[in-house]
Amino acid sequence: MNHRLIPIFLVVGLVAAPTSAQESPVYPSDAGPYRVETVADGLTFPWGMQFLPDGGMLVTEKDPGQLRIIRDGNLDERAISGVPDVAARGQGGLLDVRLHPDFEANSMIYLSYSTACTTDGGDGGATTAVARGTLDLGAYALEGVEEIFVADACTGRGQHFGSRLVFDDAGYLFVTVGDRGEMQQAQNPANHQGTLNRLNEDGSIPADNPFVGRNGYQPSIWAYGIRSPQGLAIHPETRELWETEHGPQGGDELNRIEAGENYGWPVITYGVNYGSSRRPIGDGLTEAPGLVQPVHFWVPSIAVSGLVIYDGDVFPEWQGSAFVGGLAGQQLARVDFADDGTTSVEVLLGEHGQRIRDVRQGPDGYLYLLTDVGGEQASVLRLAPATAAN
């Protein structure tokens, strides 16, 4: 039998086989007590996760650059072959994973990662790239892999690669790229540093992108002035694009992204330079004409990461809230939006003491989290109401 032709729904399994209610800790929240269940463990620096239609879960491991599968609470020992080679340096490696909108028909997935490149000075560097391929679950392989986007963001630095992926309702692919540690380049749209990009599914440029045909702008750019984007999500009701990004020593941001806008980094920021002196960045501005303000910002920084806007039925009191992982902050932040446009934050998992790398809403309506730990110590966690039966 040709495994590539096996419909995905024939591969049976469920991702969630969490710890029992007696074993999982319970914490308070404004919506009532919730339980933290371990779905699977044994991961090394996981970065992105994606649910499969059959109930399984794909998880990327940043370093060593592997794509793994979890079923029935078990992390398969085999890594999926055929994944692109990654430049696993600093914050780089294998990053996000997304299914093609028509995955059940074509079995295609998309991966973002850091890839080797040569800097203008001839030194070895790295940049952000995106590839796609057909997932053959029978052979545990990614086949027909093609690189569809390589960012013009090659530097010898090891930080701020981005790179989250999300498809919108029209089938356009959005890709984030960080400033790569060169802050001033986020205001230079002639390259991809500090940008959010919009592509067709094959990596070509949509004709209606805001900067198509404009001199001095990369045509893939949808928005720019972005520092280190770590979360990206489509709002389940408004269908708007939302993003989270790291600030320097404060100034982490939650942004509503609109076409053609400049989000200000580093001209405006609520953060300051690293070090005990906490010197202002640039002129120390937090706002300026023509530059977009964040919907919410954090001072001090929690090192924001993955993002989801919740619309499930498991936690009805949380519907419409944004959930943002915190790395240095070791928390899950729930951002609530008032009718007058103000925001408030409830800190969840503060007692749990783990770095949260990614946040996704499962097809079952529960919240799933990736912890950020090396040495096969990281886990997939699930939040459930304390009264829910396992």
Alpha helices in 7-98 (DSSP H): none
Distance between CA 8 and CA 69 in Å, rounded?
A: 14
Strand partners, 74: 71
- Tokens 């770590």 belong to 230
Q: What angle do CA 108, 114, 117 make, to 5 degrees?
A: 120
Residue-wise DSSP of 185-196: GGG-TTS-TTEE
For the question of residue 160 being annotated catalytic, the response is yes
Q: Which of 100, 160, 192, 296 is catalytic?
A: 160
Q: Which residues of 11-43 are buried (b: 16+ CB within 10 A; e: fewer)?
A: bebebbbbbeeeebeeeebebeebbbbbbbbeb
Collect contacts of 140-147 with beta carbons under 8 A, ≥24 apart: 140/69, 140/76, 140/78, 140/79, 140/80, 140/81, 141/80, 141/81, 141/82, 142/67, 142/80, 142/81, 142/82, 142/83, 142/109, 143/4, 143/82, 145/82, 145/83, 145/84, 147/84, 147/115
Strand partners, 195: 177, 224
Distance between CA 233 and CA 220 in Å, rounded?
A: 19
Q: What angle do CA 363, 64, 108 make, to 5 degrees?
A: 45
Which residues are identified as catalytic? 160
